[in-house]
Amino acid sequence: MPDFLTEIDQSWTLFLDRDGVINKRPPNDYVKSWAEFEFLPGVLEALQIFTKKFRRIIIVTNQQGIGKNIMTPEELQCIHDQLILEVEKSGGRIDAIYFCPDLATRPNSCRKPSVKMAMQAKIDLPEIDLAKSIMAGDTLSDLQFGRNAGMKTVFINTNDSSMPATEYDLNYHSLHAFARAINAND
């Protein structure tokens, strides 16, 4: 087991992808309303554990559905407001959510694997130390985002997909399994 799990304390930050990590990713579609949002099993419990372990918990999510005019920033904000409320009701917390509305084809985009969302989080929350941060995601762009920003990376393999082991530091089948592994280090 990598040493950094035993080092996690209130000086660390956890960055999380949203779709496929926190909630079910709709196949070939976008979550466009709260009615379409479905937490993955164990996520709320995982966020309770993370709340006790990390100083900051931040969601970073590519949301090109906005760029495609499938949804508006206001509709996305409503989803995120409800997400934060549900997490808080269950005893967890989300400190901030950053999203990139850019199309994948846009040059110089803020989309992961660009580190622009991490840099904005660091500006907004200057106590963030990216060397003491973890990015947990289910796609190559999530893991590359973490690596590009100097973070540790955790592959959340909710879809039993293959990923080269060189792209991540740890691999778990769910966010809940990752939280249990962190909790086991107490």
Nearest CA to 36 among 68, 70, 79, 97?
A: 79
Residue 165 tokens, joined: 């082991």
| Burial (0-12, 13-18, 19+ Cβ within 10 Å), 34 | middle
Please indicate whether residue 19 is annotated as part of the active site. yes
Catalytic residue, candidates 3, 17, 129, 142: 17
Please indicate whether residue 142 is annotated as part of the active site. no
- 152: which residues sit within 8 A by CB, 6+ positions away? 2, 4, 133, 134, 135, 146, 169, 170
- Are the beta carbons of 96 and 121 closer than 8 angstroms? yes
Residue 12 tokens, joined: 């660390």
Q: What is the DSSP letter of 142?
A: H
| Burial (0-12, 13-18, 19+ Cβ within 10 Å), 131 | exposed
Catalytic residue, candidates 19, 95, 142, 169: 19
* Rounded Cα gap, residues 186 and 27, in angstroms: 38
Catalytic residue numbers read 17, 19
